[in-house]
Amino acid sequence: MPAELRESAAATWLSVAATDQRVYLTDRSTGWASWFDPAKQQWGPTCRLRPDATVSTWGLAPGRGGAERLVLFGAKRCGRAEQAKSRVVIQAWEVDGDGLALSRGAAHDTMPGEMSERLFPRDEDGDEEDEEEMSPSIGVCGNAAGGYVYNAADPTIGAVLYELRDGVGSAVERWEWVPCAPSVEAEPLGRFILACSPVGLDELARGQPAACTTAQ
C-alpha cells in the first residue's frame, strides 16, 4: 500500500469504493486517497482529498457510471455561530477517479440540515461542551446510481439516501431520509455492515425491491 495509507490499513479507518476496474481507498480522518487496479496489480497516484480543511471525517463512493468518477463525502461540526442553522454539515464533491482531484467545474452539494440533524441527534442529557468536541463520523455505501450516508457510530438511527445527478457539475440530485429496518431495531446487533446494490428487474419481479441490507 502507499506509505500515506499504510498506517491506517484497517477497515475502521478506511473508506472504500469499488468500480468495475478499480478499488479506491481513502483515510477517513486525513483524506489521503489512492486506487488499486486488481487486473494490473498496480497502485495509482496518492493524493489528499481535502477540499474543506474543517471536515473531520471523509467517505468515498462510486460516481455515475461510464467513467472513473467518485463522490467524496465530508462531515463537520459547526461552530457556535453556525449552530442556529445546523450543528453538523455533510457535503459531497465529485472527484475524477484517474487523477484523484475535484472534477473540473464541480461544486459541493450540502445535505439538508434537518437530515444531518437526524443522523446526529442532540444529546439532551449530555454536556454541550463535550458534545462539541465529538467529531461526527459518517459511513457511506453506494453504487453508480446513488447510495446511503449513515452515522457510523450508530447505524440504527437510519440513513440518508442520495441520488446522483447525471452530467458534469454538482454530484447529488436528491436526498431522502430512510428509517432503520424494524427487524434491526427489534434485535440489537454487536456490529453492522451496510451495503447497497442496484434494484434490477429480477428483484422487482419477486416483489423485494430492498436496496439496503444489514448483517451481524
DSSP notation for 83-139: TTT-SEEEEEEEEETTTTEEPTT---EE--HHHHHHHS---TTS-HHHHHHSPP-EE
Examine the pLDDT at 192 and tell me if it is beyond 90: no
Asked if residue 172 lies in contact with residue 162, where contact means CB atoms within 8 angstroms, the answer is yes
pTM, whole model, 2 decimals?
0.82
The strand pair at 32-37 and 42-43 is best described as antiparallel
Amino acid at 211: A
In the structure, what pLDDT confidence band is assigned to residue 209 with cuts at 50, 70 and 90?
very low
Q: What is the mean pLDDT of residues 190-205?
A: 73
**According to the model, what pLDDT value does residue 126 have?**
53
Contact 138, 73 (CB under 8 A): yes
- Lookup result for grid cell 463537520: 76
* Residue 135 DSSP class: P
179 closest CA partner among 197, 157, 154: 157
C-alpha cell at 149: 450516508
Instruction: Give the contacts of 88 (CB within 8 A, at least 6 positions apart).
Output: 75, 76, 77, 78, 116, 117, 119, 120, 136
pLDDT one-digit tens code per residue, 13-33: 889 999 889 999 999 999 999
Tell me the three cell numbers of residue 207.
Answer: 416483489
Work out the mean pLDDT of the chain and round it to a whole number.
Answer: 81
Q: How far is the first Cα of the chain from the last one, in angstroms, to the nearest whole number?
A: 28
Q: How confident is the model at residue 214 (pLDDT cuts 50, 70, 90)?
A: very low
pLDDT in tens, 85-120: 568 999 999 998 888 988 776 668 999 999 999 999
